[in-house]
Structure 1
Amino acid sequence: MDILPLNFRILRYCGIWYELPEHLWLVKIVYKIFVVVVIFSFTLSELIELALTYDDLQNLTECLFLTLTFLALCFKMINFMCRQESLKALLNTFRDEICQPKTLEEKDIIEKNRSMLRLFCISYFSLGILSGSTLVFVPFASFKSSKIELPIKTYQPYDVEDFVLFSLTYFHQILSMYLGVLINVSLDMLVCGFIFLTCGQLDLCYYRIVSSNMYTMNNNIRHHAVTKDIVKKMQSFSIVVVVPLFIFSLITLCTSLFLMPEKEIMSFEFITLFIYLTCMLTQIFLYCWFGNELQLKVRKFAIARNN
Structure 2
Amino acid sequence: MRLLRSIFTILALCGCSRPPSWTSPIKKCLYTVYTSFVLIMVHSLVISQILDIAFNVDNQDDFSENFYLTLGVFISCCKLCTLLLHRDNYATMVQTLQKEPFSPTNTDEFEILARFEKWAEWNTIVYTILLESCVTWMIATSFFTDYKRHRLPYRAWVPYNYSSSFLFTITYTHQTISIAICAVLNIACDSLFSGLLIHTYCQFEILRHRFKHILENENLSAKHCAHHHDHIYKFATMVNKEFETIVLLQFLVSMSILCFDLYRFLQTEQRTKLMEMILYAICTLMQILYYCWYGNEVRVKSLEIPDMIIDSNWVSLDNNARKIFLMIMKRALVPIEFSSVHLVPVDLNSFKVILKTSYSAFSMLQQRS
Query: If the length of structure 2 is used for normalisation, what is the TM-score?
Result: 0.77
Unaligned runs of 5+ in 2: 310-324, 330-369
- Secondary structure, in 3 states, of the residue corresponding to 1:149? coil
Match 2:179 to one of 167, 177, 185: 177
What is the alpha-carbon distance in structure 1 between the residues aligned to residue 272 and residue 69 of structure 2? 17
Unaligned runs of 5+ in 1: none
Q: What's the RMSD between the two structures over aligned residues?
A: 2.1
What is the alpha-carbon distance in structure 2 between the residues aligned to residue 102 and residue 263 of structure 1? 58
Aligned to 2:339: none
- Secondary structure, in 3 states, of the residue corresponding to 1:99? coil
What is the alpha-carbon distance in structure 1 between the residues aligned to residue 242 and residue 142 of structure 2? 39
- Secondary structure, in 3 states, of the residue corresponding to 2:150? coil
CA displacement 1:76-110 (0-9 Å, x = unmatched): 12122112232232122111043222333323322
What is the alpha-carbon distance in structure 2 between the residues aligned to residue 114 and residue 106 of structure 1? 12
Q: Which moved more, 1:248-257 or 1:54-63?
A: 54-63
1:279 equivalent to 2:280? Answer no
What is the alpha-carbon distance in structure 2 between the residues aligned to residue 45 and residue 301 of structure 1? 51
1:79 equivalent to 2:82? Answer yes
What is the alpha-carbon distance in structure 2 between the residues aligned to residue 286 and residue 294 of structure 1? 12
Compute the displacement of 1:14 (Å): 2.0
Aligned to 1:259: 264
Aligned to 1:22: 23
Computing the radius of gyration over CA atoms, which structure comes out larger, 1 or 2?
A: 2
What is the alpha-carbon distance in structure 2 between the residues aligned to residue 120 and residue 203 of structure 1? 18
**Which structure would you say has the larger RCO, counting Cα contacts within 8 Å and 6 or more residues apart?**
1
Match 2:144 to one of 141, 146, 158: 141
Aligned to 2:196: 194
Compute the displacement of 1:17 (Å): 0.8
- Secondary structure, in 3 states, of the residue corresponding to 2:48? helix
Aligned to 1:6: 6
Q: Which moved more, 1:115-124 or 1:156-165?
A: 115-124
Query: If the length of structure 1 is used for normalisation, what is the TM-score?
Result: 0.92
The amino acid that maps onto 1:288 is: C
Match 2:161 to one of 156, 159, 162: 159
Compute the displacement of 1:54 (Å): 4.0
Match 1:113 to one of 102, 113, 116: 116
The amino acid that maps onto 2:165 is: F
Match 1:62 to one of 57, 65, 73: 65
Compute the displacement of 1:253 (Å): 0.6
Compute the displacement of 1:211 (Å): 3.0
Q: Conserved in 1, the CA contact under 8 Å of 2:48 and 2:158?
A: yes
Aligned to 1:293: 297
What is the alpha-carbon distance in structure 2 between the residues aligned to residue 161 and residue 77 of structure 1? 32
Aligned to 1:230: 235
CA displacement 1:5-24 (0-9 Å, x = unmatched): 11110111222212747222
Q: Conserved in 2, the CA contact under 8 Å of 1:109 and 1:203?
A: yes
Q: Which moved more, 1:278-287 or 1:297-306?
A: 297-306
Identity of aligned residues (%): 23
Q: Conserved in 2, the CA contact under 8 Å of 1:137 and 1:151?
A: no
Corresponding residue pairs, total: 305
Q: Conserved in 1, the CA contact under 8 Å of 2:16 and 2:87?
A: no
What is the alpha-carbon distance in structure 2 between the residues aligned to residue 12 and residue 90 of structure 1? 17
What is the alpha-carbon distance in structure 2 between the residues aligned to residue 65 and residue 236 of structure 1? 28
Q: 1:111 to 1:98 in 2, by over 3 A?
A: same
The amino acid that maps onto 1:275 is: L
Q: Which moved more, 1:209-218 or 1:69-78?
A: 209-218
Match 1:206 to one of 182, 205, 208: 208
Q: Which moved more, 1:17-26 or 1:30-39?
A: 17-26
